[in-house]
Amino acid sequence: MTRYLVRRLLWALAMLVAVSALTFLIFYTFPSADPAALRAGRQATPALIAQIRHQLGLDQPVYVQFGTYMKDLVLHGDLGYSYQNNVSVRSEIFSRLPATISLTVGAVVIWLAIGIPVGVISAVRPRSKLDRAVMGASLVGISAPVYFLGLIALFLFASDIGRVHLFGGAGSYVPLTQNPRQWFSSLVLPWFVLAAAFAAFYARMVRGNLIEVLGEDYIRTARAKGLSERRVVFRHGLRAALTPVVTLAGLDIGILLGGAVLTETVFNIPGVGRFAYDAIINSDLPAIQGTVLFGAVFIIVANLIVDILYAFLDPRVRY
């Protein structure tokens, strides 16, 4: 196990370097707005733009800029400074991280609490009216875009513009330590909107996996021994059916912790995703680079945790 972890960590470092290099390459290969011109303003002169480009180091070759960035990152953990407001990208990301964690954790709890039980019920009663109704609703949930569901939720239930004033609207988010009640109210709609598509997909996955597992020989043997159907399903069937679900959950959680861009943008939540969106709009390379690396770290760590959990979920897995 130790050798396996060391190999995975080395591969993780190599992947982070590759992601950084690819981000730099995309930024300089595809046409985009000049960060120096954006920072200089509308009435900037060519001399001012050239001066800002020199201050930001944009007049140097790409490989020099990339080498300087990686040196500062490795030696000091420095993600650079934003081209727009000259603030530290690292401090900006960490200040927004609690909002993203709040959004992610709540959504994960909701989609797992809905998706897994619904999938189990549908698998136990395949082709029943309940199964068809649930799978039809799941298809609708998967097909509806997040931004569409978000706008509909705000129109119906937001406290400011909604038809029924139940929960906080866009821009009402406050930190948990500041006002727990408003924090909860502002995140209820984003939680359910973000969890809708995931819960639908997980329900369909659990259903398909569990139906396949319940047809295995060892399940028939367990039933032949006189075990109750409840124990057969939950003790023997569900444990094996959840193995691919754990894989997908690790990836999804890592991606969301890197920033749920659409949800945070629609509900105006000051998280990492919103920071990434603003950085892309403003061609702010240090902020883009920082959020991409931040998301990559979460995805790599989530993959590593999932691989370790495999050995506990499936006794056949060995490293």
Residue boundaries of the structural domains of the chain: 2-76, 90-313
Q: Is the pLDDT of residue 123 over 80?
A: yes
Give the tens place of pLDDT for each residue, 231-257: 888 877 887 788 778 778 888 888 888
Could you tell me how far CA 182 lies from the centroid of its own chain? 23
215 against 269, higher pLDDT: 269
* Mean pLDDT value across residues 162-166: 78
pLDDT at 301: 81
DSSP conformation letters of 27-63: HHHS----HHHHHH-TT--HHHHHHHHHHHTTTS-HH
Give the tens place of pLDDT for each residue, 83-100: 777 788 889 999 999 999
pLDDT at 151: 87
Q: b/e string for 226-246 if b means 16 or more Cβ within 10 A?
A: eeeeeebbeebbbebbbbebb
Mean pLDDT score of the chain: 82
pLDDT at 316: 60
Could you tell me how far CA 52 lies from the centroid of its own chain? 35
Which residues are CB-neighbours of 69 under 8 A, at least 6 positions away?
Answer: 20, 24, 80, 289
160 against 268, higher pLDDT: 268
* Mean pLDDT value across residues 62-89: 81
pLDDT at 67: 83
Integer distance in angstroms from the first to the last C-alpha of the chain? Answer: 6
90-313 under CATH 1.10.3720.10, yes or no: yes
